[in-house]
């Protein structure tokens, strides 16, 4: 079945460091891909998405490129802030687009 694999955390960075969180997927066809973020004490929020191969999703300085050759959708940010500390989830929809399969999540801790 469809699945998502994320790098394990926590990822600990200093403010202004470069961030990469790896995500690879297994799916039939080429579904949309998503990154969700969960800030402490809050619900999951959609961070960005890409709907087809080679698309780049971006939001709040974060980017991710849909690469079908490597079945990857890595999340990147050039300069992280303390406020980016959160748990990040990579996700893909089922074939009917009625639900999402999430990765296990990667916790990011950014220190000043």
User: For 5, left (φ over 0), alpha (ψ -120 to 50), or beta?
Assistant: beta
Q: Which of residues 93-112 bind other proteins (CB under 8 A)?
A: 93, 96-105
Please enumerate in sequence order all residues whose Cβ is within 8 A of that of 34, keeping only pairs 6 or more positions apart, or say none.
46, 47, 48, 49, 90, 91, 92, 93, 100
Q: Which of residues 27-46 bind other proteins (CB under 8 A)?
A: 32, 34, 36, 41-46
* Stretch binding other proteins (CB under 8 A), from 18-26, 57-65, 68-76, 89-97: 89-97
Residue 79 CB, nearest distance to other proteins (Å)? 27
Residue 1 lies near other proteins (rule: CB under 8 A):
no
Residue 75 lies near other proteins (rule: CB under 8 A):
no
SS3 83: helix
């Amino acid at each position: 079945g469809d699945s998502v694999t994320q790098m394990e955390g926590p990822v600990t960075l200093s403010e202004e460091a470069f961030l990469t969180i790896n995500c690879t997927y297994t799916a039939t066809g080429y579904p949309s891909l998503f990154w969700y973020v969960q800030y402490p004490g809050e619900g999951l929020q959609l961070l960005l998405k890409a709907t087809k191969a080679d698309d780049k999703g971006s939001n709040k300085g974060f980017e991710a490129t849909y690469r079908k050759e490597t079945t990857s959708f890595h999340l990147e940010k050039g300069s992280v802030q303390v406020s980016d500390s959160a748990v990040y989830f990579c996700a893909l929809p089922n074939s009917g687009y009625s639900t999402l399969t999430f990765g296990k999540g990667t916790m990011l801790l950014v220190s000043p």
